[in-house]
Amino acid sequence: MKFIDLFAGLGGFHVGLRDLGHECVFACERNETLAKLYEQNFGIKCGGDIKDIEAIDIPKHDILCAGFPCQPFSKAGKQEGFEDKQNGTYFIKDIVRILEYHKPKYIILENVPHLKKQDNMHTWEVISKKLKKLGYDIDSTNLSPHQFGIPQIRGRLFIVGIRGPEGSLDYFGWPSEKDRSTLDIRNILDKRPNGAKRLSENQIKCIDLWQKIINAIPKDTQILSPLWSMEFGANYPFEETTPAYCKVDELGRYRGVFGKKLKGFSKKKQYKFLPSYANRKQRKFPDWKRDFIRENRKFYKENKKVLKPFIKELSQLPPSWQKLEWNCLDSKRNIKDYIIQFRASGVRVKRTNYAPALVLTSTQIPIVGWEERYITTREAARLQSLETIELPDSQRFALRALGNAVNAKVVSLVGKQLILNSKQVKPMTAKIMRWEGRY
């Protein structure tokens, strides 16, 4: 069958459907570098921004694929949805007009899971109603590569649809998950690859400091996560009020980060001695923040003898490095045995069974702790099932593009269930096979 690849990026949809034997007849990508690379990889010259392309100029096709921009619908963004004039209207204006004109039999769309919750579910209501009005029977679910043998947790919303005389998804079933017990990111990593970006001296010192702290914590004491070391020795008010609503003299009776006395300073100066999350003008902290503060102060009080000697060194770290997110439960307490990220929320340490999701933010690139290096673009491509294509020359740009890509294997699995089975399996037979676990 023939398909079109809108918002093509690195070509995750292309690779996924090509592997099933389908033919791409049109692609568009507004980023010029990615558009040229798409042509290099697949021999198809990309159109630019779909906003500037008339539906009549798009070839006839059986399948429309679109991983439309997710920024307006992501929890990490402003959540403007359709009100985002730059990226929020692609579905309601462009995807819809192409569907209206060409009426392809199948659709496969991809976006962030939060799209269904955005704007009190109004966004999803609009999308589903428009697709149904166009004659599509639709289904949707969240899928992640780690469900299918790929060691990356990356939840994404997939929306599929079928229209026409046999326009019912009664036959359809989402791909079956695989056993996850043997998943390990080590299986896709190269051993000390040439050109891999190394950790800086300061990053290594930070990891070594946190390792010393972990070693000092009694073995029978569970490591608190997140550990906010700036709360060690602090006692500023946080339960019923916040520092922002305390007068200077009142706040002067307390201590800020690492036990710093706040007495004798102006309010502006006092703010400098408070954690960044505590000096914002809000009358009351949210419950989760109060819980974290309370738990960290309790942890420090119970382990003060072993933690206090590290306060001076911790105070000299950048603020985000003063926090540790230990996501390894009761596993071996050796940070460099794991995957590490230097995030705004802290130094995150994760077990090696799954890599964290590749994202656009370069500061969240996974770090291979035992080799003190960042993952390479080729390794990241394996996490997106795109190891067979050429990548951008710039490592930073390549990782950003991979963070914005759709996983090709997940596309292939969804496409197989949607397209091949609709032709080869009668609806009732498909249901029986799913019930028996053979499909």
pLDDT, average across residues 223-249: 95
| Domain contains 326 | yes
**The pLDDT value given to residue 426:** 42
| Domain contains 383 | no
How many domains, in total, are found in the chain? 3
> Does residue 255 register a pLDDT over 60?
yes
Pairing of the two strands 63-66 and 2-6: parallel
Q: For residue 228, give the H/E element and its range.
A: strand 227-228
Q: For residue 310, give the H/E element and its range.
A: none
Residues 232, 216 share a domain? no
Q: How many helices (H) and strands (E) does the chain have?
A: 15, 12
- Whether 10 contacts 405, CB under 8 Å: yes
CA neighbor of 356 nearest in space, from 155, 143, 74: 155
pLDDT band at 279 (very low <50, low <70, confident <90, very high): confident
Residues 107, 35 share a domain? yes
**The pLDDT value given to residue 54:** 94
CA 352 → CA 179, 220, 335, 349, distances in Å? Answer: 16, 23, 11, 10
**The pLDDT value given to residue 83:** 65
pLDDT band at 427 (very low <50, low <70, confident <90, very high): very low
- Whether 3 contacts 62, CB under 8 Å: yes
Structure tokens at 167: 């326009």
Structure tokens at 191: 């051993």
pLDDT band at 79 (very low <50, low <70, confident <90, very high): low
Location of structure tokens 């990615």: 34
| Domain contains 185 | no
Give the residues across from 374 on adjacent strands: 367
Q: Of the given ranges (64-73, 127-136, 325-334), which has the lowest mean pLDDT?
A: 64-73
> Does residue 253 register a pLDDT over 90?
yes
Residues 126, 71 share a domain? yes
Looking at 328, 345, 375, the residue that finishes a domain is 375
Residues 294, 263 share a domain? yes
Instruction: Identify the active-site residue in 24, 28, 70, 206.
Output: 70
Residues 275, 199 share a domain? no
> Given its phi and psi angles, is residue 119 left (phi above 0), alpha (psi -120 to 50 degrees) or beta?
left
Residues 142, 95 share a domain? yes
* Model confidence pLDDT, tens digit, residues 165-218: 767 899 999 999 998 888 999 999 999 999 899 999 999 999 999 999 999 999
- Whether 418 contacts 140, CB under 8 Å: no
Mean pLDDT value across the chain = 89
Looking at 263, 283, 302, the residue that finishes a domain is 302
- Whether 112 contacts 124, CB under 8 Å: no
Please state the φ and ψ torsions of residue 311, each to the nearest 5 degrees.
-60, -45
Residues 15, 148 share a domain? yes
The model's pTM is 0.85
- What is the Cα–Cα distance from 151 to 187, expressed in whole angstroms? 9
Residues 102, 62 share a domain? yes
Residues 128, 21 share a domain? yes
Residues 256, 314 share a domain? no
Residue scoring higher pLDDT (121 or 236): 236
- What is the Cα–Cα distance from 72 to 85, expressed in whole angstroms? 9
- Whether 383 contacts 150, CB under 8 Å: yes
Q: For residue 110, give the H/E element and its range.
A: strand 106-111
Q: Is 254 helix (H, G, I), strand (E, B) or coil?
A: coil
* Model confidence pLDDT, tens digit, residues 33-78: 999 999 999 999 999 989 999 999 999 999 999 998 776 666 665 6
Q: What percent of the chain has pLDDT over 90?
A: 74
Residues 28, 140 share a domain? yes
Residue scoring higher pLDDT (119 or 145): 145
Location of structure tokens 């009358």: 283
Please state the φ and ψ torsions of residue 285, each to the nearest 5 degrees.
-75, 150
Residues 56, 201 share a domain? no
- Whether 334 contacts 195, CB under 8 Å: no
CA neighbor of 405 nearest in space, from 379, 368, 378, 380: 380
* Model confidence pLDDT, tens digit, residues 350-393: 999 887 777 655 667 899 999 999 999 999 999 999 999 999 98
Domain hosting 280: range is 227-302
The verdict on whether 70 is a catalytic residue reads yes
CA neighbor of 420 nearest in space, from 132, 172, 66, 158: 172
